C-alpha cells in the first residue's frame, strides 16, 4: 500500500462506523440535543419505519450508546430513548474525527519530495483565492 493510501486509511480509522451510517447518525444527532425522546417522536423526526428504527436502535443499544426505557404514561405504554454517557462521548468523538477529516485535505503532511516530479513532488497546484 502506498503512503498516500496508508495516510487516507489512517484518517478514516477515527470514524466510528456504527455512528457513520446515516440512519444511526440521525438518531444519535437527534438524541444528542435532548435529554431523552419518545420513540414515536424519533420515528417522526427521522422519517424511519418502526422496523427500521427498531433495528438501528438495537445496534446502538448493544454498543452501549443508547438506553431504551419502557414505561406506562396515563395507562399507555411509551418507549423513551436517550444517549448514555458512552453514547454522548462516542458522538462527540465522531464529530471531532469528521471535523479533522474535513479540515485536513488528503496528503497534508505526506512527504512527496522523492516522486521525481518537476513540481517538487506536487502532483497539483494549490488553489489560490487571490487569482
What is the CATH number for 46? 1.10.10.10
* Residue-level pLDDT at 52: 97
For 129, phi and psi rounded to 5 degrees?
-70, -15
* Residue-level pLDDT at 2: 47
Under the banding of pLDDT at 50, 70 and 90, the label for residue 105 is confident
* Residue-level pLDDT at 121: 54
Question: What does pLDDT average to over the chain?
Answer: 83
Residue 71 forms part of a structural domain: yes
pTM above 0.85, yes or no: no
Residue 3 forms part of a structural domain: no
How far, in Å, CA of 97 to CA of 16, rounded? 9
Residue 4 forms part of a structural domain: no
| The pLDDT of residue 83 is above 80 | yes
Q: Could you give the number of structural domains in the chain?
A: 1
Amino acid at each position: 500500500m502506498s503512503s498516500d493510501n496508508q495516510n487516507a486509511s489512517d484518517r478514516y480509522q477515527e470514524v466510528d462506523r456504527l455512528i457513520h451510517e446515516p440512519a444511526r447518525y440521525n438518531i444519535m444527532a437527534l438524541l444528542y440535543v435532548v435529554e431523552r425522546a419518545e420513540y414515536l417522536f424519533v420515528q417522526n423526526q427521522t422519517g424511519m419505519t418502526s422496523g427500521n428504527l427498531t433495528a438501528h436502535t438495537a445496534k446502538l443499544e448493544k454498543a452501549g450508546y443508547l438506553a431504551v426505557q419502557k414505561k406506562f404514561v396515563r395507562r399507555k405504554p411509551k418507549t423513551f430513548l436517550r444517549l448514555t454517557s458512552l453514547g454522548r462521548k462516542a458522538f462527540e468523538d465522531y464529530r471531532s474525527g469528521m471535523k479533522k477529516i474535513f479540515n485536513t485535505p488528503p496528503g497534508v503532511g505526506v512527504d512527496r519530495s522523492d516522486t521525481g516530479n518537476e513540481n517538487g513532488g506536487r502532483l497539483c497546484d494549490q488553489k489560490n483565492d487571490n487569482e
